[in-house]
Structure 1
Amino acid sequence: MVPVGGVAVMLLGVVVSGVLCLLVYLVARGPLGVLGAGALALLLWSLAVIACLTLVPAEGAPGIVPAETRQETCSWDYGGPAPEGFWIFSGGQRLLNTLVFVPPGLLMVVFLARWPRAALVTVPLGLAVLAAYSAGIELTQLELARLDRACDITDVVDNSTGALLGGAAGLLAALVLRPWRARLR
């Protein structure tokens, strides 16, 4: 197996997914309008960026991980052992885990606010899907030991908190942008 990972691979994934999401925007802006297509494309891109940050090994693939050192279950030790800093940003990893899920929460609400009556159901459902996305990432990190990542319940809680904060910001943004107007035209 050829080791794949590191910052260059993460950045390549971010760029490639950005190009694909630009294509989504170009195709969707006719039926959804500029705001709806932009929110959808940026939502998809933010989810792809999260996948690149969390599912690509940070320092290159570790190769074979011996069974004795492989994590068998997710850590249910809420709050620790998170490192003090992260390899790209200064500050705590928990803060980064929270902040990285704010854009998807915000963009999802702006996109779904295009249909205000349905948004009463779809927004809470969408926030639950974002929490499930975070849990899915953690389970993938657990199952794929070669990622050299740790499965931790703290990450799911921090990610879900970020999605909720983003959702609240999305409600404010929707009140300002009023995406439902584009649907009425």
Structure 2
Amino acid sequence: MCFEGAHVIEASISAVPGLIVSFVILAVLVAVPTALVAKARKKPWPLRTALAACLAGIFAVTLLPGDAGLESWQCDTGMPTHVFTSASSLLNIALFAPGAVLAVLLFRRPVTVAAAFGALSGAVELAQSVGHLGRSCSVTDLAANATGAVLGSAAGAVWLYRRRQSPAEPVRDLVWGVSLAAVAVLAVGGVFQSRIDSVDVVAMDDRMRDLAESAAQADEWIATAAKGVFGSGTEMRGTATKKDGSRLKITAETNRGTISGTWPQKTLESARSSNARGDEGSLSEKEVAAAAERFARTWFPRNVAGSDRRIRSIGDGPTRAYTVVYRRYTDKVMMPVRLDLTITTTGRVIGFSARTVDDPALPRVTIDEAKAKTLAEDATGLPADSTSLLAQQVKGEWRPVWWVGSGKQDIAIDAATGERIAGEG
């Protein structure tokens, strides 16, 4: 009976080196003296010996050092969906049920036995949490252990009933059992509440699984984007994924260059061709601008909508390239959305840099350009020679900001209040 459910116990053998040998040794050390003492006292020894062997099995499986587990004074409080049908839960039920059956047959006190084995379960989980055993304290295991204790005690009580053997002193058994259960719940619960750190391993596993699935989808998306940007014949050489808050930043290396973006937003951030030299193409500046517009509207529709476009050449001669810049303005304030493209006279995109964000709501601008220059000159004692008005995050809040340059020092001034922004420049 003690080895009922052995096929489930096999699942834990690989996680605890030397489990079978340790169990045999421990069982012999406990069972043999138990049998000898019982015989010396002229007591029935088979049930006592079997119960001792079952307890040895419980301690061997639950307390022998392993190669897994949480940190000391931590316990997994996550509850899996199939809490009583997982292999681990079945193992714990199988561990505690046989011993409870034997204890009921021996002592004929099913309620007290159920409470005692439940208390033993709590002590085991606390020992796993406190000790450096490489084992995991788990509320799920505690529930499964207690279930095994109750089922085993119930099975033992049914066996006694079928054999027409009534429980010994049922009222006293009930009082002792309920009292023991209450004390165990208060003691174990108090230690868990005051000393044990809760860790939801189930939620952590779910997050890791979701992250892995999301990373695989991100790989597929960035591979498609790379082929769309660099053209057919693009081959993936590797990807690197980094978690950034609630999103993933993914960078892909290809045979034609590097490209990066964010998932699941599906926004490209930058790309750089491994061939950054200009092409000897025949497209005019106007035709290059049109090619850049088609590319931008395909891959960056949010950046292009409502934005102004500027184009300038890089170099001269047949291999010159062009930089095409998109900026959006609201009430003359440059919004944070960005798009910079570098494109050749064949229409090949050498690279891009993009920032795709929604236009922030800004307070009204009350400081004009002349006032901003005056404030900057008063602060630095230098004449102002350049200004720009743009949306910028200041201490986590979007503000309209004047950047005023003097050639030696730039001053940032809040365009709504006229206050100098400390730490900027």
TM-score for the superposition, normalised by structure 1? 0.68
Alignment-derived partner of residue 23 in structure 2: 14
Of Structure 1 and Structure 2, which has the larger fraction of its residues in helix?
1
**1:56 has 2:98 as partner:** no
Alignment-derived partner of residue 79 in structure 1: 80
Which AA in structure 1 matches 2:88?
A: Q
Distance 2:164 2:33 in 1: 24
Is the 8 Å Cα contact of residues 34 and 52 (structure 2) preserved in structure 1?
A: no
* Structure of higher RCO (CA pairs closer than 8 Å, 6+ residues apart): 1
Of Structure 1 and Structure 2, which has the larger fraction of its residues in strand?
2
Distance 1:100 1:107 in 2: 12
Output aligned runs, 1:90-129, within 5 Å.
92-113=87-108, 119=109, 123-129=110-116
**Rg (Cα) greater in structure:** 2
Structure 1: segments with no counterpart, 5+ residues: 85-90, 114-118, 181-185
Distance 1:124 1:14 in 2: 28
Which AA in structure 2 matches 1:104?
A: G
Distance 1:131 1:160 in 2: 5
DSSP 3-state at the match of 2:66: coil
DSSP 3-state at the match of 1:161: helix
Q: Deviations over 1:99-121 (max 9, x none)?
A: 111111101100012xxxxx3xx
Output aligned runs, 1:1-185, within 5 Å.
6-8=16-18, 10-20=19-29, 21-29=31-39, 31=41, 33-34=43-44, 37-59=45-67, 70-79=71-80, 92-113=87-108, 119=109, 123-144=110-131, 146-176=132-162
Distance 1:45 1:177 in 2: 24
Mark the CA change 1:22 to 1:174 in structure 2 (over 3 Å): closer, same or farther: farther
Structure 2: segments with no counterpart, 5+ residues: 1-14, 167-425
Which AA in structure 2 matches 1:101?
A: F
Is the 8 Å Cα contact of residues 13 and 49 (structure 1) preserved in structure 2?
A: no
Distance 2:119 2:47 in 1: 20
Is the 8 Å Cα contact of residues 111 and 179 (structure 1) preserved in structure 2?
A: no
Greater displacement, 149-158 / 22-31: 22-31
Distance 1:80 1:70 in 2: 24
Distance 2:47 2:34 in 1: 11
Which AA in structure 2 matches 1:171?
A: A
Distance 2:116 2:144 in 1: 15
Distance 1:169 1:6 in 2: 30
Is the 8 Å Cα contact of residues 51 and 103 (structure 2) preserved in structure 1?
A: yes
Greater displacement, 19-28 / 42-51: 19-28
DSSP 3-state at the match of 1:147: coil
Q: Deviations over 1:108-140 (max 9, x none)?
A: 100012xxxxx3xxx312211111111111111
DSSP 3-state at the match of 1:173: helix
DSSP 3-state at the match of 1:109: helix
Following superposition, the deviation at residue 173 of structure 1 comes to 2.7
Following superposition, the deviation at residue 81 of structure 1 comes to 10
Alignment-derived partner of residue 183 in structure 1: none
Distance 1:168 1:56 in 2: 29
Following superposition, the deviation at residue 156 of structure 1 comes to 0.8
Count the aligned residue pairs.
150
Alignment-derived partner of residue 116 in structure 1: none
> What RMSD in Å do the two structures reach over aligned CA positions?
2.9
Which AA in structure 2 matches 1:151?
A: C
Following superposition, the deviation at residue 70 of structure 1 comes to 1.8
Identity of matched residues, %: 28
Mark the CA change 1:14 to 1:178 in structure 2 (over 3 Å): closer, same or farther: farther
